[in-house]
Amino acid sequence: MTELKTDASIDAMHAAGQVVGRALTAVRQAARVGVSLLELDEVAREVLREAGASSPFLGYRPSFAPTPFPGVICASVNDAIVHGIPTALRLRDGDLVSIDCGAELDGWVSDSAISFVVGHPRPADLRLVETAERALEAGIDAARVGNRIGDIAHAVGRVCRTAGYGIPAGFGGHGVGRRMHEDPDVPNEGRPGRGLPLRHGMVLAIEPMLIGGGKDAYYEAEDGWTLRTSDGSRAAHAEHTVAVTDAGPRILTAREAG
Ligand code: MG
Ligand code: MG
């Protein structure tokens, strides 16, 4: 069942989303060659702590996971697509990093992710990151009353496929609210005009995941969490929490530039 949120609830999710935005901006600014993923997790923890927010990631244990998630961010480097555990791994020049973060404030959750390159970027990685952002923008633009879930999925998938990238099947966006993962699923590929009609008050996490090598295959790493590309190519991830409103899509996790 997809819950429709009141305008007051959407405002509360926006407050949580601003904390997420600040955390991601702080992590990005801290991410330099030699910095560890655990140190980046600590940067995000501090932002959540200062805001009085809790983490919907920390201790999260979905059915597939062997252990509760140990961080407040997912940190997925290079061939890691999503769900990377923040470890003692130190960033190297040219690493492509995806950071996913959530916050819960006053009982409401927001969820967002960014990808970026540390140090000197390869042109191919910049193109991958830029395409993930473009796919996210296309998905957000389709999140309108009168459209359907399939219109978002189609918009996201078309940008990824046109650029020649792979899409890991079975992973994608979701409803967000009092819990991080609610109905409906928001796939990263689909047919326009199909699926649940979008209504004012739906709040969705839209999150393209792109595989640079162009194939869709991935595997679950030994830690039971990290998804990695099967061909070893690099991956990018971008995500916003977005409210569908009569006035158009409202991004609840927008960040200040930086
Ligand atoms: Mg996320
Ligand atoms: Mg999400």
- Residues in contact with 71: Cβ distance below 8 Å, sequence separation at least 6, in sequence order: 41, 57, 58, 85, 86
CA-CA distance, 92 to 58, in Å (whole number)? Answer: 26
CATH number at residue 60: 3.90.230.10
pLDDT of 256 over the 90 cut: no
Which pLDDT belongs to residue 67?
93
* Whether 180 contacts 101, CB under 8 Å: no
Q: 73 C-alpha vs ligand 1 centroid, how far in Å? A: 9
For residue 82, which ligand has an atom nearest its CA? 1
The pLDDT-based confidence of 161 (bands split at 50, 70, 90) is very high
Would you put residue 214 in left (φ > 0), alpha (ψ -120 to 50) or beta? left
The residue that leads in pLDDT, 229 or 258, is 229
pLDDT digit string, tens, across residues 93-145 = 999 999 999 999 999 999 999 999 999 999 999 999 999 999 999 999 999 99
Residues above pLDDT 90, as percent of the chain = 97
**Structural domain that includes position 72:** 7-251
Q: 76 C-alpha vs ligand 1 centroid, how far in Å? A: 12
Pairing of strands 209-211, 218-220: unpaired
Sheet containing strand 218-220, edge to edge, reads 80-82, 227-229, 218-220
Average per-residue pLDDT for the chain: 97
CA-CA distance, 156 to 208, in Å (whole number)? Answer: 7
Residues in the chain: 258
Is position 258 within any domain?
A: no
Q: 202 C-alpha vs ligand 2 centroid, how far in Å? A: 15
pLDDT digit string, tens, across residues 162-214 = 999 999 999 999 999 999 999 999 999 999 999 999 999 999 999 999 999 99
> What are the backbone angles phi and psi of residue 72, rounded to the nearest 5°?
-100, -10
pLDDT digit string, tens, across residues 44-101 = 999 999 999 999 999 999 888 899 999 999 999 999 999 999 999 999 999 999 999 9
For residue 172, which ligand has an atom nearest its CA? 2
The pLDDT-based confidence of 1 (bands split at 50, 70, 90) is confident
Is position 2 within any domain?
A: no
Q: 249 C-alpha vs ligand 1 centroid, how far in Å? A: 18
Is position 27 within any domain?
A: yes
Beta carbons within 10 angstroms of residue 29's beta carbon = 10
Which pLDDT belongs to residue 64?
84
At which residue do the structure tokens 């252990």 appear? 67
For residue 180, which ligand has an atom nearest its CA? 2
Q: How many domains does the chain have?
A: 1
Is position 127 within any domain?
A: yes
What residues have a C-beta under 5 A from ligand 2, the ion?
111, 205
Q: 30 C-alpha vs ligand 2 centroid, how far in Å? A: 23
CA-CA distance, 258 to 154, in Å (whole number)? Answer: 30
Report field, pTM of the whole predicted structure over 0.75: yes
Q: 80 C-alpha vs ligand 2 centroid, how far in Å? A: 16
What value does the CA radius of gyration of the chain take, rounded to a whole number of Å? Answer: 17
Number of H helices, E strands in the chain: 4, 13
Q: 173 C-alpha vs ligand 2 centroid, how far in Å? A: 6
Peptide bond into 70 cis (omega under 30): no
